[in-house]
Structure 1
Amino acid sequence: MATNTEAAFRQTGWAGLRARLFHLYFVLRRPMTLGVRGLIHDRTANSVFLIRHTYVPGWQFPGGGVEVGETLAEALARELAEEGNIALTAPPVLKSMHFNRRSSRRDHVGLYLIEHFNQAAPKLPDHEIAEGRFFPLDSLPKETTPATLRRIAEVLGGEPPSPYW
């Protein structure tokens, strides 16, 4: 059951319909959807990189769908480059797998911790990403999605991981 905080991030109107149609396309194309997200942690500044999409509310980790013929790590590297202008300098660490039941009964997300990376230049806005930047862990934006806050607490705060996104 969604909390009031989570309800604020639920897609409604055209954006919600567009998201459901997009997901329907993948359901028809693939019987199960698989995605990746990257918790990019700058240990020196004790900050994390978050993005804000143009089509859904809230700040969240960069990531996206794993394409046919692509490994999770390859998908993650591609999504980090596309959404954050970030390149991995060491292998990412898979921290947890989650069932994303709010998207569909078929969606799963792998969460990776990235602490070795380069960002050659800040990510500029485009048609998909409105904004992307680092935030100190003690000053996360109030619009950070509940799932993002849960994953930070699990990976960096020692909370037990939930099986659900």
Structure 2
Amino acid sequence: MIEIERKFLVKDDSFKAAAFAQNRIAQGYLSSVPERTVRVRIKSNKGYLTIKGVSNDAGMSRFEWEKEIPFDEAKKLLLLCEKGVIDKTRFEIKRGNHVFEVDEFYGENEGLIVAEIELESETETFEKPNWLGDEVTGDTRYYNACLSNNPYKNW
């Protein structure tokens, strides 16, 4: 499956009032090379294994494969991950026909808040909320795999 998404910085925390869901997430990388990132994620009490390919030139589209795995197995796999496990809360906010996923990071990425929106095509339009800041789509520093190796606090 091809994932098409755009990423934005977030100006302030006013998005929280509009969130219909929020979940704490821990995720680590078994492989963080751009050609094939392999991620283990624990979201609430569920585990996931995700493989992503390299992004296209615009940084909007890439192959993504994800499967739910048993929670206990995800916990064990997190122990095998490269250093720099990501800790964040994901807020989900409906806006028009879309859902923004806003990640507030903790630990070494404290202070970073990034919003993502998945689209059907790279040219699809969407309603932009007031709290949405500068677009960072294609800026690899904001990829979670990069944040695990080069945290926000080091920029």
Question: TM-score scaled to structure 2, two decimals?
Answer: 0.30
The structure showing larger relative contact order (alpha-carbon pairs under 8 Å, at least 6 residues apart) is 2
Whose strand fraction is larger, Structure 1's or Structure 2's? 2
